[in-house]
Structure 1
Amino acid sequence: MELMPADKEIIHRLLLFALGEGLYGAQVSYIREIVQDQVKIPLPGAPDFIPGIIHIREEVVKVIDIRKIIPLAKEGLKKKIIVFVPENQSATRFGMLVDDVYGIMEVPDSVVNLLDRSDTKIQNNFMLGFLKCSLDTFLHQNGRQYAAGNDDLVWIDFEDLIRTITDDGQSDTITFRLTALFNPEYLLSDEYRKNAKK
């Protein structure tokens, strides 16, 4: 949900998290809670990127591990699971494994470089936009205020990401789209070209 302060500027509430070498943000309206990584129960017949399920207050949550789809830098020590808000009461619950979660930053619309979502080429990588911030300043202040700086933050379209990962019909494009988002340098590598030909 977006906030509207007295000066009328739109404020985006983004949950900041790390995955691989990147810093990312997602609108909190798509996130139900954050839990510590835990032992997962294997799910027979599930794709490799779903290593298993966990139980949260008697609810079953399928865990998605992006590293099972694309190569990323070394895993962080503080692994967390971001649990998504389900589409409805009967929908399957999903959570995504990330390296760390830093909290909610209230980002002014004026500092966000939003992408033109009407361009079909841009929609391939789940990116809504990007901005510069200071993660260190944000972590050492009280509150959720935006902290200006030189850290690159990518704003992810979590709704599109969740829908695509959970849609069997999108399996042919998911690897490319996730690689374009989380590890774009890999798209230019010889290893990616070899794997793409398989």
Structure 2
Amino acid sequence: MMNFPSKKSDLTKSNIEEDRQYLTFNLKEAMYAIGILHIKEILEYSNVTPVPMMPNFIKGVINLRGAVVPVVDLAARFGGAQSHIVKRTCIVILEVLNDDVMQDIGVMVDAVSEVIEIGHNDIEPAPAFGAQIRADFIQGMGKINSKFVIILQVDKVLSVQEMTMVSTLAQGQAANPKHALDQRAT
């Protein structure tokens, strides 16, 4: 288990340096990064309890020191197939601001790589098209040596309002599949 500082005041570096540190991880043969200020800790994948009638990208919940924390399968959230659990699969616990309240959300990734620094000059804007995930999920493209890492916009990827809406739609379609088909036809 790795612990990360949960508040900017917990770090001793300047704000400029804080903004440049990212945790990198692998997901479906691509490398992604999340700013370390969002990261609370990293856990080995285990004891995820499935929750009925959730969208396919909600893997379930875990008990984190008495708190119920939802776990999102990031590959499925990006519109791909659900991830397979392998030896290096981890759950990264993130703190996300939703409706002015900090909420812990776990994301399932294939493997965590390292914490790296990416200077502001080495971050390109998100591509308008051609990415494997929605453009609004991408904060930027970080240049590392001769490769790019996709820097995620955590508040968009893990928007509780959007995930709740998707869940509600999925439940409605499951309850009335004919109505869901009728809606697609119009």
Q: Considering the TM-score relative to the shorter chain, is it more than 0.5?
A: yes
The answer for the alignment partner of 2:44 in structure 1 is 36
Contact 1:30–1:159 (CA under 8 A) maintained in structure 2: no
How far is the alpha carbon of 1:74 from its aligned partner? Answer: 7.0
Tell me which protein shows more strand as a share of its residues: 2
CA distance in structure 2 between the aligned counterparts of 1:104 and 1:86, rounded to whole angstroms: 19
1:55 partner letter: N
CA distance in structure 2 between the aligned counterparts of 1:57 and 1:4, rounded to whole angstroms: 32
Q: Does 1:84 align with 2:94?
A: yes
The answer for the alignment partner of 2:73 in structure 1 is 65
Q: What is the CA deviation profile of residues 108-140 of structure 1, one whole-angstrom value per residue up to 9, with x for unaligned ones?
A: 1111113499xxxx973411111321xxxxxxx
Contact 2:49–2:61 (CA under 8 A) maintained in structure 1: yes
CA distance in structure 2 between the aligned counterparts of 1:49 and 1:165, rounded to whole angstroms: 15
The answer for the alignment partner of 1:4 in structure 2 is 16
Contact 1:20–1:74 (CA under 8 A) maintained in structure 2: no
Listed as ranges, the gaps of 5+ residues in structure 2 are 1-7, 9-13, 169-183
The answer for the alignment partner of 1:167 in structure 2 is 163
Percent of counterpart pairs with the same letter?
21
1:140-179 equivalence runs, <5 A: 149-163=145-159, 167-169=163-165
Q: Relative to structure 1, is the Cα distance of residues 167 and 84 closer, same or farther in structure 2, using a 3 angstrom cutoff?
A: same
Q: Relative to structure 1, is the Cα distance of residues 43 and 34 closer, same or farther in structure 2, using a 3 angstrom cutoff?
A: same
How far is the alpha carbon of 1:64 from its aligned partner? Answer: 0.9
Q: Does 1:20 align with 2:20?
A: no
Contact 2:59–2:71 (CA under 8 A) maintained in structure 1: yes
Q: TM-score, normalised by structure 1?
A: 0.62
Contact 1:12–1:27 (CA under 8 A) maintained in structure 2: yes
2:165 partner letter: G
Q: Relative to structure 1, is the Cα distance of residues 63 and 165 closer, same or farther in structure 2, using a 3 angstrom cutoff?
A: farther
1:80-159 equivalence runs, <5 A: 80-87=90-97, 93-115=104-126, 124-133=135-144, 149-159=145-155
Contact 1:132–1:150 (CA under 8 A) maintained in structure 2: yes
* Residue correspondences, number: 151
Contact 1:52–1:63 (CA under 8 A) maintained in structure 2: yes
Q: Relative to structure 1, is the Cα distance of residues 132 and 76 closer, same or farther in structure 2, using a 3 angstrom cutoff?
A: farther
Q: Relative to structure 1, is the Cα distance of residues 90 and 55 closer, same or farther in structure 2, using a 3 angstrom cutoff?
A: farther
How far is the alpha carbon of 1:73 from its aligned partner? Answer: 8.4
Q: TM-score, normalised by structure 2?
A: 0.65
Listed as ranges, the gaps of 5+ residues in structure 1 are 134-148, 173-196
CA distance in structure 2 between the aligned counterparts of 1:73 and 1:96, rounded to whole angstroms: 11
- Tell me the SS of whatever aligns to 1:4: helix
Among 23, 46, 56, the alignment partner of 2:54 is 46
CA distance in structure 1 between the aligned counterparts of 2:167 and 2:53, rounded to whole angstroms: 15
CA distance in structure 1 between the aligned counterparts of 2:161 and 2:116, rounded to whole angstroms: 26
Contact 1:50–1:65 (CA under 8 A) maintained in structure 2: yes
The answer for the alignment partner of 1:139 in structure 2 is none
Contact 1:83–1:94 (CA under 8 A) maintained in structure 2: yes
Q: Relative to structure 1, is the Cα distance of residues 128 and 94 closer, same or farther in structure 2, using a 3 angstrom cutoff?
A: same
